[in-house]
Structure 1
Amino acid sequence: ENCRIIDTYQEADAVLYHGPDFHGYNQHITSKQIAVFWVLESPVNYRPNRINWTMTYRLDSDILLPYGVIRKAEGPIQVDYEQLWNEKKASTVWLISNCGHNNARIQLANALQQGGLNIDIFGRCGKPTPNNCDGTSKQSDKCVAELFRPYKFAISFENSLCPNYITEKFYELLEDRYTVPIVMQRSITRKNLQAPNNSFIAVDDFKNLADLVNYIHTVENSKEEYLKYQSWREHYTVKSAYFSIEETGFCALCKKLMANNFTTKYYENMSSWHSPNTCEQPQDGFAKKYLDLVTALPL
């Protein structure tokens, strides 16, 4: 209640620079104002300039701006396993709107399909969705939740493999879609975000895609095995923070400003801190490693 978001930077205590639109340090802000690098996307086009604080999804940011939060529940939570199992009628779904990224995630999903995994791909990179649910802006719509709920699994491949970079789509799968995410790397999801081990399946837990496909078939055809991936719900809560100002970094930014603990700390070169070089490069790509082994799939 002590903070306001305004669009007149001359009156502001903190000035936020949105990463993708940051074209140069504003020399007109005063020494009493805090310059904050604010970004939710992975490293793309950034220019070297001086910034005081960082406000991103990365865990080493001055102000953490998460896509979601996973918390230990205060007490046991009742889960209706019978209803959950009964509503799961289909195998795997993927809603994807950006077909242009070069981490080979689409090729990886296609290889899984080729190997026998039944994936319904919707969106601009697949078939049209029911009720016009296409588009990134609609990922949090009720129609998307309804689309996902009958599926046991969902592809949750990010458009880039960068430290701590897990977007709201992963959290939403756990929060209200009751669908088990299939991610690329366990380390990013588990080590960095503390997601329960049995809340998702990671490609890199398997030597090749054939082993992964066989494992998913085993789990989806066994009520007991599948519900093991839902048992964490008794002990954890999940909330997508993307559209909740209380759960995002803005309240933390306000508190930091109210503490009046302004220091002379600054990042002289943001391009080295938030650089594409911190991400896995396409030529050394994670997906490529598995695609090179695609001959191991039963065709």
Structure 2
Amino acid sequence: MAIEYRHMFVVWSTFIITCFLIANKKQPPISPIPLMMNHGERIVLGGKVLESISFVNRESENQLRNVSRCYRQVQIWRGRNIPDAPQTNECPGLNCGIRLLKDTSYETMKHSDAIVFYHTSPINWEELQKRRRIHQAWIFFSIEPPPLTKKSVVPPLELDRIYNFTMSYRPSSSIHSPYGIYTPKSHIKGFKANRNWAKEKTGLVAWASSRCIGRGLHLQTWRRREFVETLGKHVSIDVYGNCGNKTCERHSDKCGSILGSHKFYLALENSECRDYITEKFWVNALRYNSVPIVYGPPREDYERVAPPNSFIHLQDFNNFSELVDYINLLDSTDTLYNTYFKWREKGSIRFEGEGKVLRPPFYCKMVNTLLENGNFSAEPKVERQHPSIHDFWTKSCIEPSGFPHDF
């Protein structure tokens, strides 16, 4: 019995001593983790390439939290020529955030990963080319049509493909920045299927515009005001803004309610350019529940992005007589008028516009595009063909004939 106790004492003593030695064994100090983010995708820890932070062990993960993450500096070529204060934002889902600056400083340009050339930017192409960093991405950006784009922003033909990417209202842009978005849904909360939209209206047709002349910033590529004046001889039109005698505080909900009290809204663009569909359609009409009577781009461009059967296109008619007859028909037939709101049972709209596009969260889309194309690497993943800015932009306006262009 004594032998058994002596044996158990030896075993436990050995176990306790071993645990003590292990616990007090001198460990080599943890060296700082060398961190490198390549393309905004890979992480290198201690020489080992990791495809995602999720594969880092808990100890490494804790150390990662103490290491400053990467930020990609994006300069919007707009405003003063002295360095601007940066806005730093995280980009959810990306390994890199964004440091955004708005100026025309060459000092800022020297440290920027990408330059966004705004549609009114002053540009000296010779000077810019001298200072461009290797693999620095150049992006053309405009939410205005070609006639309202400053000529210097479009490079001469010999530099036609100098931009890496395009960002505009056109769906074919490298980075799409639309005025509005329609999203189909299976169920719309609170929608009343039997609502009589016509019953709520007190006016017939509304139009709001501040651009009434065809010069400078108020350039128009067709006789829009003359068209409205001619139509007004046949149907009642309330005109708000600089072009009329009624007042309406622009961009206010009160003004929207006033416009929405009309059955129809003249969502007439100032330029006849492909895909140019602005807040006139998305906000002044659809958001405030008027049926938009549209003109600018051709019908197929509206059909590509608009809710189904939500608008009336002027090119569906041959003359004023046909248009006026149809307006009067809808005005006198509630069931037919209400068909233009059936889309609300199946989807919703969201307005984007310049106010959202020029904020850092939207530019995270650009950071993502640049990361995907390897623009932050000495060896880009894809040797892609730069877009022809003349084909994409300058040639995007059309010269239609017939109604309503000719009247």
TM range (shorter): 0.7 to 0.9
Instruction: Tell me what 1:280 maps to.
Output: 398
C-alpha separation between the residues in 1 aligned to 2:387 and 2:309?
41
Does residue 271 of structure 2 align to residue 176 of structure 1?
A: no
Name the residue aligned to 2:272.
161
Give TM-score scaled by structure 1 length. Answer: 0.83
Identity of aligned residues (%): 28
1:29 aligns with 2:146: no
Deviation at 1:268, TM superposition (A): 7.6
Query: Which structure would you say has the larger Rg?
Result: 2
2:164 is aligned with 1:47: no
Correspondences of 1:1-299 after superposition (within 5 Å): 1=90, 2-7=97-102, 8-25=108-125, 26-27=128-129, 28-44=131-147, 45=151, 46-48=154-156, 49=159, 50-80=162-192, 82=195, 84-99=197-212, 100=214, 101-114=220-233, 116-130=234-248, 133=249, 138=250, 140-184=251-295, 185-190=298-303, 192-193=304-305, 195-242=306-353, 243-245=355-357, 250-259=363-372, 261-262=374-375, 263-265=382-384, 267=386, 270-275=389-394, 277-281=395-399, 284=401, 287-289=404-406, 291=407
Letter matched to residue 404 of structure 2: A
Secondary structure at the counterpart of residue 69 of structure 1: strand
CA pair 58-249 structure 1, distance change in 2 beyond 3 A: farther
Mapped to 2, the partners of 1:154 and 1:95 lie a distance apart of: 9
Judge which range, 210-219 or 255-264, deviates more: 255-264
Name the CA shift for 1:223/1:256 in 2 (closer, same or farther; >3 Å). Answer: same
Quickly say closer, same or farther: Cα 1:244–1:278, change in 2 above 3 A: closer
Tell me how far 1:179 sits from its aligned partner: 0.8
Shift of 1:229: 0.7
Query: 1:104 is aligned with what amino acid?
Result: R
- Structure 2 length normalisation: TM-score? 0.63
Closer, same or farther: CA 259–102 of 1 in aligned 2, 3 Å? closer
* Structure 2 CA distance for aligned equivalents of residues 103 and 239 of structure 1: 29
One-letter amino acid of the structure 2 residue matched with residue 122 of structure 1: Y
Please state whether the residue corresponding to 1:224 is helix, strand or coil. Answer: helix
Tell me the distance in 1 between the aligned counterparts of 2:123 and 2:402.
Answer: 29
Q: Residue 76 of structure 1: CA displacement? A: 4.2
Tell me the distance in 1 between the aligned counterparts of 2:264 and 2:368.
39
Task: Provide, for residues 39-91 of structure 1, a one-character-per-residue CA deviation record: whole Å limited to 9, x for no partner.
Answer: 11111333324211111111221111111111111424543454643321110
**Residue 9 to residue 169, structure 1, CA distance change in 2 (3 Å):** farther
Which amino acid in structure 2 is aligned with residue 208 of structure 1? N
Q: Which residue of 2 aligns with 1:297?
A: none
User: Is this contact kept in 2: 1:69–1:241, CA < 8 A?
Assistant: yes
Q: Is the 8 A contact 1:65 1:248 kept in 2?
A: no
Q: Contact (CA 8 Å) 1:175, 1:240: kept in 2 or not?
A: no
Which deviates the most, 66-75 or 256-265? 256-265
Aligned mates of 2:336, 2:258 — CA distance in 1: 23
1:175 touches 1:239 (CA, 8 Å); kept in 2?
Answer: no
Structure 1 residues 137-174: Cα deviation after superposition (integer angstroms, max 9, x where no partner): x3x32232122121111001111111111112211135
1:119 deviation in Å?
1.0
- Letter in structure 1 aligned against 2:235: L
Supply the distance in 1 between the matched residues of 2:290 and 2:198 (Cα, whole angstroms): 11
The separation in 2 between residues aligned to 1:248 and 1:175, in whole angstroms, is: 25
Count of residues in correspondence between the two structures? 278
Do the aligned partners of residues 248 and 223 (structure 1) sit closer, same or farther apart at CA in structure 2, a change above 3 Å counting?
Answer: farther
- Report the Cα distance in structure 2 between the residues aligned to 1:268 and 1:164, rounded to whole angstroms: 18
In the alignment, residue 40 of structure 1 is paired with which amino acid?
I
Which consecutive unaligned segments of at least 5 residues does structure 1 have? 292-299
- Ranked by relative contact order (alpha carbons within 8 Å, sequence separation 6 or more), the top structure is 1
